[in-house]
Amino acid sequence: MRCFVPCSVDTPKSRLGPVLTLAERQSFATAMLVDVLDTLVTAGYRPTVLSTVPITDGRVTDRAAVTVDSRALTTAVNSRLAEDTPTLILMADLPLVEPADIQRLVDSEADISIAPGLGGGTNALVVRDAGFRVDYHGASYLDHRQAAAELDATIEAVDSRRLATDIDKPEDLAEVLIHGTGAAHDWLVDTGFELDTAGGRVGIQRDE
Amino acid sequence: MRCFVPCSVDTPKSRLGPVLTLAERQSFATAMLVDVLDTLVTAGYRPTVLSTVPITDGRVTDRAAVTVDSRALTTAVNSRLAEDTPTLILMADLPLVEPADIQRLVDSEADISIAPGLGGGTNALVVRDAGFRVDYHGASYLDHRQAAAELDATIEAVDSRRLATDIDKPEDLAEVLIHGTGAAHDWLVDTGFELDTAGGRVGIQRDE
């Protein structure tokens, strides 16, 4: 199955700005991408990264083809969906995802299998209907359900915490520290982040 | 299997204070409890609510036995674990949970099957090891893994977004509006909440 991982590692993850510099966000976004690619390769896929800029990091190029597409996310993905189906689209900021989660997406027999993100986004899709197009703006999970309904296409949501956990905000880093085992987890630890459970509520802190 | 749902509907969900009054939080917490009980009953269980105060709401008492236990959560649950195993413990603030999710917990053959919550909590447990005790303080998911290891008990995490989504904070209400279908969803709609997707990022707003 064709498999694409859209990502923008040049200006990534602005919502992590309160805790990471731009250079750190670029480095962390790349680590998350490496984790996602590792999972896809282990699951038997040959992913193509759809990147807004060229990527030369060997950890990425060893695991995936890289296609530069500077257009907006929705446009870039729809261009691939217009070429052929079935197609798997997996976001690059899902460092917790495991091969079994990909299998659950692919095992679905629905025309569209979708993994909603927290907050109503769309973190992963398997598209088997040639007419389906994405729109990642806003509550895209609901919009994608509606789009499938308008095509009379069946849609199935995969209930996965790991697929739902896209890493956008400082509090999301706790999920990587708790559950992660790969490059993104190690990057956070090496950068001085650790869990803060002092108040009985779990947060993060960074050693200075 | 014995099945307990701990809850405190008298002073619930203080973190929802910015958007709901105390009386509203009590009402919403009860609606979430009803959803959880509905799911358990549909899945074939006969749940017992461990409540800090008596509950007379017919929607609850029609679906479950209610045992008043005013002790702290950890103490109350450990008292039940000391009585008998296997035991299913499911939190009351999981209005998205579906019968299939309960089945996934129960189907595990591990001594402990656990559903982590976002932020490292423990949202659900099936305990088959008579020596296992809970401690819900802090990052309890990690503590429970450690406790299982110290008992040489096997532990398996169930990867479920619905089981992971405990409703604590105002932003969590968006999850109920997006994915919910039961009493908690209807309560929010009836109270005037709706999704706010105006800024491209999904939030909630309340009609005044």
At A12, the pLDDT band (50, 70, 90 cuts) reads confident
Nearest chain A residue to B96 by CA: give it: A159
CATH number for the domain formed by residue range(s) B2-166 = 3.90.550.10
The lowest-confidence range among A92-106, B59-73, B186-200 is B186-200
Tell me the chain B residues in contact with residue A163 when contact means C-beta distances shorter than 8 Å.
161
Query: Considering only residues 31 to 90 of chain B, which have any Cβ-Cβ distance to chain A shorter than 8 Å?
Result: none
Q: Tell me the nearest-neighbour CA distance from B42 into chain A, angstroms.
A: 19
Instruction: Report the C-alpha gap between B9 and B23 in whole angstroms.
Output: 10
Tell if the CB–CB gap between B142 and A178 is shorter than 8 Å: yes
Q: Indicate whether B206 pLDDT > 90.
A: no
Interface probe for A, chosen from B105, B202, B204, B205 (most Cβ of A below 10 Å), is B202
Q: Determine what percent of chain B is predicted with pLDDT higher than 70.
A: 98
Q: Indicate whether B53 pLDDT > 80.
A: yes
CATH of range A2-164; options 3.90.550.10, 1.10.1740.10, 1.10.3720.10, 2.60.40.10: 3.90.550.10
- Backbone φ and ψ of A19, nearest 5°: -120, -10
Tell if the CB–CB gap between B178 and A120 is shorter than 8 Å: yes
Q: Indicate whether A199 pLDDT > 80.
A: no
Residue A2's identity, in one-letter code, is R
At B156, the pLDDT band (50, 70, 90 cuts) reads very high
Which residues are CB-contacts of B120 (< 8 A; sequence separation ≥ 6)? A174, A178, A195, A197, A202, B138, B139, B140, B141, B142
Q: Identify the CA nearest to A194 among candidates A182, A176, A181.
A: A176
3-class DSSP state for residue B8? coil
Q: Does residue A197 sit at the B interface (CB-CB below 8 Å)?
A: yes
Q: Identify the CA nearest to B102 among candidates B141, B160, B155.
A: B160
Q: Does residue B136 sit at the A interface (CB-CB below 8 Å)?
A: no
The lowest-confidence range among A4-13, A120-129, B86-95 is A4-13
Nearest chain A residue to B178 by CA: give it: A120
Instruction: Report the C-alpha gap between B60 and B47 in whole angstroms.
Output: 10
At A202, the pLDDT band (50, 70, 90 cuts) reads confident
Residue A205's identity, in one-letter code, is Q
Q: Tell me the nearest-neighbour CA distance from B83 into chain A, angstroms.
A: 28
Q: Tell me the nearest-neighbour CA distance from B93 into chain A, angstroms.
A: 16
